[in-house]
Amino acid sequence: MPFDAIDAVLFDKDGTLFDFSASWSGWAQKVLQGLAQDTEHQVRLARALRFDLAAGRFDPTSPVIAGTLEESAELLVPHLPQMSRTDLLGFLLDTAAEAEMVPPVPLAPLLDRLAGQGLVLGVATNDGETPALAHLERAGIRDRFAEILGYDSGYTPKPAPDMLLGFAARTGIAPARVVMVGDSTHDLIAGRAAGMATVGVLTGLADTATLAPHADTVLPDISHLPALLARG
The per-residue pLDDT for range 25-45, each reduced to its tens digit, is 999 999 999 999 999 999 999
CATH of domain 3-19+103-228: 3.40.50.1000
Above 90 in pLDDT, residue 3? Answer: no
Q: pLDDT grade, residue 231 (50/70/90)?
A: confident
Given this model, what pLDDT does residue 1 score? 55
Please indicate whether residue 211 or residue 65 has the higher confidence score (pLDDT): 211
Beta bridge partners of 10: 122, 180
Going by C-alpha positions, the residue among 203, 174, 198, 178 that lies closest to residue 188 is 198
Write down the domain spans for the chain: 3-19+103-228, 22-98
DSSP collapsed to 3 states, 45-94: HHHHHCEECCCCEECCCCCCCCCCHHHHHHHHHHHCCCCCHHHHHHHHHH
pLDDT digits (tens, 9 = 90+) for 140-165: 999 999 999 999 999 999 999 999 99
Going by C-alpha positions, the residue among 34, 10, 61 that lies closest to residue 176 is 10
Going by C-alpha positions, the residue among 123, 131, 17, 124 that lies closest to residue 72 is 131
- Please measure the distance between the N-terminal and C-terminal CA atoms of the chain and give it in whole angstroms: 15
Q: Residue 118 and residue 136: Cα distance in Å, rounded? A: 21
Within 10 A of 95 (CB to CB), how many other CB atoms are there? 17
pLDDT mean across residues, the chain: 95
CB of 186 closer than 8 Å to CB of 69: no
Whether the link from the prior residue into 109 is cis, omega within 30° of 0, is no
Please indicate whether residue 63 or residue 1 has the higher confidence score (pLDDT): 63
Q: pLDDT grade, residue 65 (50/70/90)?
A: confident
